[in-house]
Structure 1
Amino acid sequence: MYHKIFIVYINQLIILYGEKLYLNDKNHILILNHKKIMNKRFLVFNDIQNNIDLYFKSKNLIIHTKKKLLLDFYKSFLKYNKYNMIFNKNYCISFNTLIYFWKKNKSESILQLHYLLSIVSIYSDIFIIGQNNIGINSTKKLCNPFVHLNKINYKKKCSLYYGIITKKSNFILQKHFKIYIWNNIIIQTLPGVFGYRGLDKGSLLLISTFHKNITGQVLDIGSGSGILSVILKKIAVNTEITLVDNNNIALLCSKNTLRYNNIIGTVLFSNIYSNINNKFDLIISNPPTHCGKKNNFNIIKHIIQNSVKYLKKNGILRIVIHSYISCHKELLKTFNNYTIIKQMNHFCVYQSILKKKN
């Protein structure tokens, strides 16, 4: 069930609340323990759920989230970046409580928690909440050197841990990087970034459509590790590449992959087209089709429907999509043309051209 979320600013007091309809396990546990959380200076790390059904009252609050509704709020804190994460040590001194939502990707949670435990003040409270089937119960051992965690509440599918930070971690970002080589190209990536486990079949299929005759300005939407742009630039040397992503960690990986391969390109934070102001000869993307475990085609639709605003005349949109998804309707409505230029391994590469009007 969808819940509206509101943010209200009242003399530096921020109240986050939603229409209370149905509770999910994670939010229900937080409500049961709301007295431990209320009126503290806290930050919330990771995606706020659309069906959040509790409110927080706090003198200070930061929310780290990629949800579109909170994107402007999220972006306002980017100036405090460190390692392209959202917080720095000086800014976090004022907070005494961390609420961390455990992620499905355990390696990403380890990276985030080690970083947060290096910057959040000693003797701060920490709450870690997550589903039991994605490794939340390993958090006690993970955090043991820095905080003694106790499970204070649980439901069938979800657990809540609480502790007090007694020691800061020695966070070294470089230890978390994964570096691998594909066709003499060095790829550097971090947990949670698309391409961390290597090149997927969709990316490989899209790469197979690159050729040396591609020229002009190219936009790579959802650049991840940056591998698509690097390979394209290696093949088509007469291109200027711009890489965008709405994940700061991905942008850091894209920058490193460009640098390791001696490739020049522009890397920007952008929620698809939100920070794009010029037009391109080619837009490429291997867009996500899931939000968690659920199918979500909104990103694909947004890329297609708005691409015409950012393409030059005779500019090309080229995207790779799983074959069970049809882009027929959206591409015809937007471009009045499309071709499937390659199909293999359950993926299709669609291409549409922004043709000149007579």
Structure 2
Amino acid sequence: MAISNINQLLIRNIDGISAATPLFVNIVNDGFIAEYLTHHTTAKITCYHTNFADYKLSQMSENNQVTSHFCVEYKAQVKHDLVIINFPKSKAEFGFTLAMLAESMTEDATVIIVGENKGGIKSADKLSKNYLNFCNKVDAARHCLLYVGQFQSDLPKFELDEFYKYYSVTVGDNQLKIAALPGVFSQNGLDVGTDVLLENLPQSIKGKVLDFGCGAGVIAACIGKLFPGTKLTLVDVSALALQSAKTTLALNGLNGESLASDSLSDVKERYDFVISNPPFHQGVKTHYAATEQFLTKIKQHLSTHGCITIVANSFLKYPPIMEKAIGTTKTLAIKKGFAVYQCFT
């Protein structure tokens, strides 16, 4: 794997970021961890990931000096004297991350923030004012920036519940309450694509249902209310999304299984219905491969006469992929720039 521009900038400054117990936040294991240990041989590294795919990659280091975690809320077992944060695509998630990590750091811990110019990193100074004493730009290379800061003392205790945003969705005679943490798709309200999909759900849904790329759990919650008795499974690559989806189900008196998976990597069962607004953005770049892989592989997770219904931007050429991989595909609706496609095994 080629070393990312972000990690190349970190390597360029590696001699100056020595630490005994560093914490790497959403730093991709593309060779940087090994390089860090080459320069700082006694370091005990902790990797915290909110992305399941990156977490699985970090587990491959096979080094007893590296510990990896995938979770929504990180709590340190040992205080960290350095944290390196990959600036998230969501600015709200950046504040969430700083608020959460403060109590896991030593008093004089160094905070390093790194990210791509086009990913919003230039706003790090402004966005960190409530959490850091200072946030100074110290280097720029490979279209990336690196900032150094230090946490303020006596920051409030982190409370996960304070970072949820809530909104309502009406489906049929039901009004559902949706909970979403920072960084989760459509945190501030129902997106147009999902709205179009909910208008075109199968008339009858029963048995085992998979909500792929569940986000805050809107689709699964609506199905659970409209079709009681369905067995819901919610899949996402994001720890923040999965926690939001669990909260959404609980708020609406519903039950379901939440499953972390890199696309379909950890999905083992077969489902009677797959309903999805599949993601096509990854990081700051438009990225279609994950959805195309999902459509190519989903048939092996559909039961006999199983049904898949998805919504996507109407310009995306998904029907030919579905036709080839699954079967005859119908276009149920085209509305507001989105299309709903459906096919049966």
Aligned residue among 95, 101, 104 for 1:116? 101
CA–CA distance in 2 between the matches of 1:165 and 1:73? 26
Q: 2:100 and 2:284 mapped to 1: Cα distance?
A: 27
C-alpha deviation, 1:272, in angstroms? 2.7
Of residues 167, 177, 190, the one that matches 1:180 is 167
Q: Which residue number corresponds to residue 237 of structure 2? A: 246
Please give the root-mean-square deviation of Cα atoms over the aligned residues, in Å.
2.8
Match of 2:16 in 1: 36
Within-5 A mapping of 1:11-30: 18=3, 24=5, 26-30=6-10
1:275 to partner: Cα distance: 2.4
Deviation at 1:54, TM superposition (A): 9.2
Q: Which residue of 1 aligns with 2:46?
A: 62
Q: Secondary structure at the match of 2:341?
A: strand
Matched, 1:230 2:221: yes
Deviation at 1:97, TM superposition (A): 1.2
Deviation at 1:248, TM superposition (A): 1.1
- In 2, are the aligned partners of 1:118 and 1:168 still within 8 Å (CA)? no
Residues in 2 aligned to 1:323 and 1:161: alpha-carbon distance in whole angstroms: 40
1:329 to 320, 329, 336: 320
Q: For the Cα contact (< 8 Å) 1:48–1:67, is it kept in 2?
A: no
1:312 deviates by: 0.5
Percent of residue pairs bearing the same amino acid type: 25
Given the two structures, how large is their TM-score scaled by the length of structure 1?
Answer: 0.82
User: Does structure 1 retain, via aligned residues, the 8 Å contact 2:28–2:57?
Assistant: no
SS at match of 2:102: helix
Consecutive unaligned residues in structure 2, runs of 5 or more: 61-66
Deviates more, 1:149-158 or 1:297-306: 149-158
Measure the CA separation in 1 of the matches of 2:69 and 2:150: 27
- Alignment-derived partner of residue 101 in structure 1: 86
User: More deviation in 193-202 or 284-293?
Assistant: 284-293
Counterpart of 1:150 in structure 2 is 136
Change in Cα spacing, 1:249 to 1:74, as seen in structure 2 (3 Å) is farther
Matched residue, 2:75: 88
Maintained 8 Å contact 1:216/1:239:
yes
Distance 2:299 2:282 in 1: 25
Q: Which runs of 5+ in 1 are unaligned?
A: 6-17
Once residues 259 and 100 of structure 2 are traced to their aligned partners in structure 1, the CA distance between those partners, rounded to angstroms, is 23
Q: How many residues align?
A: 328
Aligned-partner Cα distance in 2 for 1:272–1:100: 24
Contact map agreement 1:146 1:168 (CA 8 A) in 2 = no
Structure 1 residues 39-48 or 314-323, which shifts more?
39-48
**Residue 48 (1) aligns with residue 39 (2):** no
1:139 aligns with 2:125: yes
Query: Is 1:279 aligned with 2:263?
Result: no
Write the deviation string for residues 161-198 of structure 1: whole angstroms up to 9, x where unpaired.
22344625321222211011122210111110012021
Tell me, what secondary structure is at the counterpart of 1:121? strand
CA contact (8 A) 1:212 1:236 kept: no
What is the SS of the residue equivalent to 1:271? Answer: coil
Residue number in structure 1 paired with 2:197:
206
Question: Cα–Cα, structure 1 residues 337 and 234, in superposed 2: closer, same or farther, change >3 Å?
Answer: same
Deviation of 1:292 (Å): 3.3
- Supply the AA of the counterpart residue of 1:41: T
Q: What is the alpha-carbon distance in structure 1 between the residues aligned to residue 302 and residue 112 of structure 2?
A: 46
Shift of 1:206: 0.9
CA shift for structure 1 position 50 = 6.5
| TM-score (structure 2 length as normaliser) | 0.84
| Residues 248/186 of structure 1: CA separation in 2 closer, same or farther (3 Å cut) | same
CA distance in 2, matches of 1:164, 1:172: 21
Residues 34 and 347 of structure 1: CA distance in aligned 2, closer, same or farther (over 3 Å): same
1:131 deviates by: 4.3
Is the Cα contact below 8 Å between 1:211 and 1:236 reproduced in 2? no
In 2, the alpha carbon distance for the partners of 1:206 and 1:284 equals: 9
